[in-house]
Structure 1
Amino acid sequence: MTDPVARFIGQAQRSGIVAVCDHASNRVPDGIDLGVTRETMEKHVAWDIGAAGVTERLARSHGIAAMLAEVSRLVIDLHREEDSSGLIPTTSDGILVPGNIGAGRERRLADYHRPYHAAMESWLDEAQPGLILSIHSFTASLESAPTARPWEIGLLYNEDDRAARHAIRLFGELGITVGDNEPYSGKQLNATMNRHAEAHGRPYCAIEIRNDLIAHERGQARWAAIVADVAGRVKLAMESA
């Protein structure tokens, strides 16, 4: 299996800040036909629009080493547990994904999901970071359930809200509209951080940025700078607690 599941930018500093981006790519590997249009592959159902750009800028401009996924979540959602019903979606936000009906679950787990998480585990074990940033984006309104989502950024968490509490306060002090476990709850959707952060006692911020704010390079640069600043202050606050 030589198909890339992730790419890395920068050198992780021990006890420093690192960033991961599970939905960075809309790439469909050769040999997989999802049966959807090219237009669908540019939508939020295929990847987190703008999240890769923010994560890349965190690494290149702010010295925060990063790991970015290289497979579309319509192929397999790397931010789901192996037994999740949404692991290989047959529909997403009302869009049918016919190529996933009857798809070989074990093959995709072996080819993409397990190598991705094994690589992340090894990377984090070596770096022993002081703070993990999990970078995602969300759409302002789902097509299948068009309810406005007013937040500019959201902080998600499951049981460990140590870093999130500081981040919610600090983003709020900047005049940003912040969601506390919004637009959805980390109690239900926190698979990667449950596995690689909470299970090891590692502090983390699972960050959701509204994708219309980061769809273009200017917004990606702006939000990367904001996130990097807040992340640095979160880490300091936790170290001095």
Structure 2
Amino acid sequence: MTVARILEGEPGGILLICDHASNAVPSGIDLGVAPALLDKHIGVDIGAAPLTEALAETLGAPAILATVSRLVIDLHRQPDHPGLIPTLSDGHAIPGNEGVDRFERIAFLYGPYHRAIEARIRAIRPTLLVSIHSFTPQLETAVGPMRPWEIGILSNRDRRAADLALPLLAAQGLVVGDNEPYSGRVLNATLNRHGEARGIASIAIEIRNDLIADGEGVWRWNDILAPILSDIRNRLAPEGLLAT
């Protein structure tokens, strides 16, 4: 199967990445769960794929969208991460993943996906990598308040793009989290591998999924983010290190 859907765009600028774009399960894999579970946040980043597509269209930017559910294999984890092939996700058992051949699934899905990203980076030499994700307002297993952020900006050691993005988003009157609801110092596998390892500036954008659950929400956030990402790209361009 094709593990990455490629949207063409202008080289040298922004490359959009959507690791959790799909809830599809490849033929021959049985997760042992009800189909409705794949539509929940544990199966797909709700709204992330339509937002990535909208931003690609508005910005004229290339994009890579995964075509497999994160319950099959989480493409945004290191190969040795215990949650790479989850057997439990937010309180839901994934019995079909018990005892699977980890290396076979990595070879079949994980490896080809990340090689596709590497190939696009070599071809288009982007200045900025932008990973699009969404998060649920509250985990089903959580005890405590709802997550208050509308959007979070995640980064690891390279703060170039994050430090530009945060004040621009705050100026829009948004409730913005810096490394919230997750820390990019802990969960940043895709951008660590393809951004920081190559000296390419990068950020992960996490949007609360109830805000992009329909077309109106997607286009609202597209209109917010597109000019901000263009501004960040332009500010980074003179100093941005190109991929080698």
- Give TM-score, length-normalised by structure 1: 0.96
Q: Per the alignment, in what secondary structure is the counterpart of residue 34 of structure 1?
A: coil
After superposition, what is the alpha-carbon deviation per residue over 1:141-183, rounded to whole angstroms, capped at 9, x for unaligned? 0000143111000000111011001101100011111100000
After superposition, what is the alpha-carbon deviation per residue over 1:122-146, rounded to whole angstroms, capped at 9, x for unaligned? 1111111011110000000000014
- Alpha-carbon separation, structure 1, partners of 2:8 and 2:213: 23
- Alpha-carbon separation, structure 1, partners of 2:3 and 2:219: 25
Partner of 1:49: 46
Aligned partners of 2:3 and 2:68 also within 8 Å: yes
Aligned partners of 1:10 and 1:60 also within 8 Å: no
Percent identical across equivalent pairs? 53
Aligned partners of 2:161 and 2:202 also within 8 Å: yes
Partner of 1:236: 234
* Residue correspondence of structure 1 range 3-42 to structure 2 within 5 A: 3-11=1-9, 13-42=10-39
Root-mean-square deviation (CA, aligned residues, Å) is 1.1
- Alpha-carbon separation, structure 1, partners of 2:38 and 2:115: 26
Partner of 1:151: 149
Partner of 1:111: 108
- Which one-letter code corresponds to 1:219 in the other structure? G
Deviation at 1:65, TM superposition (A): 1.4
Aligned partners of 2:168 and 2:228 also within 8 Å: yes
Dislocated runs of 4+, deviation >3 Å: none
1:134 aligned onto 2:155? no
Partner of 2:221: 223
Deviation at 1:60, TM superposition (A): 2.2
Deviation at 1:112, TM superposition (A): 0.2
1:203 aligned onto 2:187? no
- Alpha-carbon separation, structure 2, partners of 1:226 and 1:113: 32
- Which one-letter code corresponds to 1:26 in the other structure? N
- Alpha-carbon separation, structure 2, partners of 1:110 and 1:86: 17
Task: Return 5+ residue gaps in structure 1 as ranges.
Answer: none
Deviation at 1:108, TM superposition (A): 0.5
Aligned partners of 2:58 and 2:226 also within 8 Å: no
- Which one-letter code corresponds to 1:120 in the other structure? I
Partner of 1:177: 175
- Alpha-carbon separation, structure 1, partners of 2:70 and 2:174: 28
- Alpha-carbon separation, structure 1, partners of 2:168 and 2:100: 44
Aligned partners of 2:127 and 2:236 also within 8 Å: no
- Alpha-carbon separation, structure 2, partners of 1:149 and 1:235: 29
Partner of 2:58: 61
Q: Per the alignment, in what secondary structure is the counterpart of residue 207 of structure 2?
A: strand
Cα–Cα, structure 1 residues 111 and 199, in superposed 2: closer, same or farther, change >3 Å? same
- Alpha-carbon separation, structure 1, partners of 2:127 and 2:236: 9
- Alpha-carbon separation, structure 2, partners of 1:231 and 1:152: 17
Q: Residue 95 of structure 1: which of 92, 96, 100 is its match?
A: 92
Partner of 1:189: 187
After superposition, what is the alpha-carbon deviation per residue over 1:178-230, rounded to whole angstroms, capped at 9, x for unaligned? 10000010011000000000000101121000000000011111112211111
Aligned partners of 1:22 and 1:68 also within 8 Å: yes
After superposition, what is the alpha-carbon deviation per residue over 1:88-124, rounded to whole angstroms, capped at 9, x for unaligned? 0000000000000001101100100000001100111
- Alpha-carbon separation, structure 1, partners of 2:236 and 2:64: 23
- Which one-letter code corresponds to 1:213 in the other structure? L
- The aligned length equals 238
